[in-house]
Amino acid sequence: MHVIDKRPHIAGNAFDEYDESGILIHRYGPHIFHTASERIFRFLSRFTDWHPYEHRVRSVVENELYPFPINRDTLNRLYGLRLDEADAAAFFERVREHRDAIRNSEDVVLNSVGRDLYEKFFLNYTRKQWGLEPSQLKAGVAARIPTRTNTDDRYFSDTYQAMPLHGYTRMFENMLDHPNIRVETGVDFIDVSDRDRYSHIVYTGPIDAYYGYRFGPLPYRSLRFEHEHLPKVEWFQPVGTVNYPNDHAYTRITEFKHLTGQQHAGTSIVREYPQAEGEPYYPIPRDENEVLFKRYEALALAEHRVTFVGRLAQYRYYNMDQVVGAALAAAKRILERP
Ligand SMILES: Cc1cc2nc3c(=O)[nH]c(=O)nc-3n(C[C@H](O)[C@H](O)[C@H](O)COP(=O)(O)OP(=O)(O)OC[C@H]3O[C@@H](n4cnc5c(N)ncnc54)[C@H](O)[C@@H]3O)c2cc1C
């Protein structure tokens, strides 16, 4: 097997590395592993031990930090209330704007938490993150974020939540460490001319690029990452990620030591600035983009010797575990070919 990547390293967007001060950072923004699938967790456990980690996020609203996703503590602190679980459920029932049909992300949020929470926590974050109004995004984008009547302040509720003990790059190095696997970085697939010598190709780049953008480019949202090391600050913020829905040009700040459990006298953080141009990071979940993708997908489905897997090749807003699941399913299909 021959694995290539046009970047100078393996591990895709999950790539992590030690920065100049010796702190393990994620070059392409924070990656937190979580899955409900025992099978996927077990598969990855063949290549890494784990550091247990449950991600926690706070959102800054009018200079105060609140638990996010919204839970009972968020309500009690924001509105000066003392709701119990049943009260919190009644609160949401009172403030929600009932929608018969959930057509987009605005409908999802208004239907579950109402206008004030929507405007404080979601509206401007979405505008910054996507450069679009929530009403222009598919419902699935907002539906990823739960609303809780209890005080659970974990960002994810999956059974398996952990970080690879020595990082993602090491985990992928272990996965690729096999006498039948040859890895070459800094090689663009487009420049590989003798493709016929491969009995099968698994393509993980953008599907529109594979087909020379013949139906036009698929839209992506990009990001600029601003990494910073603070040598004299042991902890910059109380949790892994702090969201800034209403202030600043960046959406959020992540402090890596929270994620990895690393001990260090200083700390390293990253700010994420969404932008239209640049590396394709997020497929933009809109109906018209899905229609365009389907045209490319029809070409891909007719290929016998090429399998398209991953966020860019399948134009899906996939998490890491979902990509692992898609890759395992694709591997099974390829191995079981007649
Ligand atoms: C900011 C950010 C935060 C994220 N946080 C999380 C998180 O907390 N948890 C989570 O589960 N998921 C997270 N994700 C999603 C995660 O990054 C993806 O699910 C995962 O990286 C997808 O793997 P992939 O192999 O499909 O794509 P990628 O990781 O993007 O890998 C594709 C690779 O293909 C290479 N490539 C592309 N075109 C070519 C070409 N022509 N020739 C050669 N090589 C090429 C690219 O260089 C890249 O290395 C996040 C994503 C981003 C952008």
- Is 184 within the bounds of a domain? no
Domain residues for the domain of 120 are 57-143
pLDDT at 337: 83
The answer, yes or no, to whether any atom of ligand 1 lies below 6 A from the CB of 4, is yes
- Is 328 within the bounds of a domain? no
Residue to probe by mutation, ligand 1, list 10, 13, 27, most atoms within 8 Å of CB: 13
- Is 96 within the bounds of a domain? yes
- Is 134 within the bounds of a domain? yes
Task: Note the helical H segments in the chain.
Answer: 38-44, 72-79, 85-95, 105-117, 124-130, 139-143, 168-176, 207-210, 256-260, 287-301, 320-335
pLDDT at 145: 84
- Is 200 within the bounds of a domain? no
Task: Name the pLDDT band for 126 (thresholds 50, 70, 90).
Answer: very high
pLDDT value at 147 more than 80: yes
pLDDT digits (tens, 9 = 90+) for 279-302: 999 999 999 999 999 999 999 999
pLDDT value at 338 more than 80: no
CA of 153 from ligand 1 middle (Å) equals: 27
pLDDT value at 146 more than 90: no
Task: Name the pLDDT band for 65 (thresholds 50, 70, 90).
Answer: very high
Nearest C-alpha to atom 2 of ligand 1 is from which residue? 29
pLDDT at 253: 98
Question: What whole-number distance in Å separates Cα of residue 313 and Cα of residue 205?
Answer: 5
pTM above 0.85, yes or no: yes
pLDDT digits (tens, 9 = 90+) for 13-50: 999 999 999 999 999 999 999 999 999 999 999 999 99
Q: Which atom of ligand 1 is nearest to the CA of 29?
A: 1
- Is 97 within the bounds of a domain? yes
Residue to probe by mutation, ligand 1, list 7, 10, 31, 282, most atoms within 8 Å of CB: 31
Counted domains in the chain: 1
283 close to 218: Cβ distance less than 8 angstroms: yes
Mean pLDDT, the chain, whole residue set: 97
